[in-house]
Amino acid sequence: MAKSFAYETYPYRRSSDQDASTPVHHPVVVVGGGLVGLAFAVDMALHGVPVVVVDDNNQVSTGSRSICVAKRSLEIFDRLGIGDRCVEKGITWNKGKVLRGDHLLYAFDLQPEPGHKRPAFINLQQYYVESYLVDRFNELGVGEARWLNKVTSVAQHDDHVALTIETPDGPYDITCDWLIAADGVKSAVRHALDLPFVGETFNDHFLITDVVMQSDMPTERRFWFDPSFHGGGSALLHKQPDSVWRIDLQLGPDADREEEMKEENILPRLHAMLGQDAKFTIDWGSLYTFQCRRLEKFRHDRVLFVGDAAHTVSPFGARGGNGGIQDIDNLAWKLVAVLNGSAPDSLVESYDAERIPAADENIMNSTRATDFMAPKNATMALFREAVLDLAEHHPFARAFVNSGRLSVPDIYENSPLSTACDADASDGLPPGSPAMDAPITVEGRDTWLLDHFGGHFCLLDMNQDGAAHEDPGMHVFKIGRDFQDTHGMAEQRYGSGIYLMRPDQHVAARFASFDADAIRTAQRHALGGT
């Protein structure tokens, strides 16, 4: 198989910890230098917290893997400093088609309204995003990535975690205040702590293949139920950068892994889909079965699980990688606050309270998509066929067609960190909601609202009263004073009132008018206080 991406090998370097007479202590160690672990390390570095990342490999992920980067992830990447780079390289798409056989059932547009900096999705191979995160982490110069460092032992203590790490030079020991397990679905940390990973594994096998080809097909998501080129299964086609196209084919429960992965067996399937005269090269391929599983809880004393180490879903819906990015967005600022003494240890408990419901929603949507694509019994198959029969001519039925409910921002509806809203609940965003972007003007320059929130607590004042405020101890961004709502979209999305925004750009509280004491109380509450 040809390779369209030039993989860089990150060198193993012996660290001073390996020569220490006693285990060296670190505030935070991240196990896993993949998408989620690297994003967490960058987030911590932006807050000035040095993180040690250890990974048993020495390059970014092999194959495109998680390719659909959702709008919310792009907004988080903007805060981390790689958003522009991702969008410039990625393939932007908002539209898609769902087909049955060779006939169009319906088309959809994920972002029909204007006034958003980022598109609904881009397609970008995971290895690109990881390489950008490595570059950003190195650029910040806070923390250290250690390649070819494999964790072989994890021991919990009351006030620290002890690790044994194997390297080409032999093993060494370190300790840390907090251990972040970002080491994927086969998490070595999870196995070391003997934690059950509960859920469901589905029987159907799916062939995933990246092909390099020149094509004028539109940039959109295409999903087929029972196409003529692949009878009895489903198929998915997506475009990626570098003229790489992602193809997913459902093979059923009886597929032979070894046989199906042979190139001489993959090629006939691809030619049936793309045409017998199609010219392409295979860039990468894999055979997988769906899993929808998670840990009972994501915090285990001083070990915190993120991404696939905490929860895993099927790839349809793009909820795996995007869910992991939202994990680190939720966790990093809380751990920073605990480490710098501005919040109690109990703040970390809210990671479970907010991210477990989000994981459950992703698992629910992923399970439903899988059951629709691969019905478990005759009743479910009958339901699917009835829905597909109706969907071509009756729009109401299209809501029941499930080729993967695509990733959306999580709303922390019942967050223990939120303060009840005293503003008009009929407009704007309630506490727990992620911030919404809008085009604004600052000092005559067109810009975007989210770019001015940063990664700290801040106030968004949407009241057109011109009032001067007592210093609340945080950045205040006021309409009419600090920015102009040139297109009226900020007011349309936020209404009136004053928003207390968390460092992860979720709403902590909303007030009808400025009250410095109430704002400070809400901030203390958002930091785990009472």
Question: Within 13 A of 90's CA, how many CA atoms are on the CB side?
Answer: 30
In angstroms, the Cα distances linking 431 to 185, 277, 425 are 32, 56, 10
Q: How far apart are CA 205 and CA 216, in angstroms?
A: 30
CATH 3.30.9.10 residue ranges of the chain are 199-289
Element (H, E) at 137: helix 126-140
199-289: what fold?
Answer: D-Amino Acid Oxidase; Chain A, domain 2 (3.30.9)
Q: Are 505 and 459 in contact (CB under 8 A)?
A: no
CATH says 16-198+292-365 is which class?
Answer: alpha beta
In angstroms, the Cα distances linking 404 to 125, 366, 371 are 19, 7, 10
Residue range 439-526 in CATH 3.40.50.300? no
Beta strands in 218-259 (DSSP E): 221-225, 234-240, 244-252
CATH 3.40.30.120 residue ranges of the chain are 439-526
Residue 272: count other Cβ atoms within 10 Å of its Cβ.
17
Number of helical (H) and strand (E) elements in the chain, helices listed first:
12, 25
Q: Which amino acid is at 213?
A: M
Q: Residue 384 in 3-state DSSP? A: helix
Tokens for 79? 């805060």
Element (H, E) at 401: none
CATH 3.50.50.60 residue ranges of the chain are 16-198+292-365
- Sign, CA torsion 409/410/416/418: positive
Q: Give me the tens of pLDDT residue by residue for the chain, a chain 530 residues long.
A: 446 788 999 999 999 999 999 999 999 999 999 999 999 999 999 999 999 999 999 999 988 888 999 999 999 999 999 999 999 999 998 889 999 999 999 998 887 678 999 998 999 999 999 999 999 999 999 999 999 999 999 999 999 999 999 999 999 999 999 999 999 999 999 999 999 999 888 888 889 999 999 998 888 899 999 999 998 889 999 999 999 999 999 998 888 888 889 999 999 999 999 999 999 999 999 988 888 899 999 999 999 999 999 999 887 778 889 999 999 999 999 999 999 999 999 999 999 999 999 999 998 888 888 888 888 889 998 999 999 999 988 999 998 898 887 788 899 999 999 998 877 767 899 999 999 999 999 999 999 999 999 899 999 999 988 776 778 889 999 999 999 999 999 999 999 999 999 999 999 999 999 999 999 999 999 999 76
Tokens for 230? 């692949």
Radius of gyration, CA atoms only, the chain: 24
CA-based nearest residue to 29, from 173, 168, 127: 173
**Tokens 């879903």 sit on residue:** 313
Residue 436 DSSP class: -
Q: Residue 354 in 3-state DSSP? A: helix
